[in-house]
Amino acid sequence: MILRILFFSFLVFATVVAPTPVFIGGALLYAFRYTAYELLLLAVCIDAYYGVGVFFVPYYTIITCAGLIFIEWMKPRISLYNEAT
């Protein structure tokens, strides 16, 4: 549990400081490792920070939601998550 909190704290820090590929790679690893519903909250906060969602489409939130749905759909199909390997 503490590792999950530290990893999420790193992602929050990476949204501000790190280059975008580092953040995206970390977010993908986090999403595959855990059920990453916290990333939706982070995406909503990014959209709110940049002011999208009021006058524009909240694309960070939409992309994150679609990505999480896809990753949750893929997890049972990946051999790493199957017990019958």
Structure confidence by residue, pLDDT tens digits, 32-58: 888 888 889 888 888 888 776 566 788
Quote the pLDDT of residue 45: 85
Tell me if 56 is assigned to some domain: yes
Query: What pLDDT band is residue 60 in, cutting at 50, 70 and 90?
Result: confident
Q: Assess contact for 62 and 35: CB atoms under 8 A.
A: no
Q: How far apart are CA 28 and CA 65, in angstroms?
A: 12
Q: Is the pLDDT of residue 14 over 90?
A: no
Tell me if 54 is assigned to some domain: yes
Tell me if 82 is assigned to some domain: no
Structural domains counted in the chain: 1
Contacts of 38 (CB under 8 A, 6+ apart): 8
Quote the pLDDT of residue 59: 84
The domain in which residue 70 lies consists of: 2-77
Tell me if 68 is assigned to some domain: yes
> How many alpha carbons fall within 13 Å on the CB side of residue 45?
10
Q: pTM above the 0.85 mark?
A: no
Can you tell me whether residue 81 is helix, strand or coil?
Answer: coil
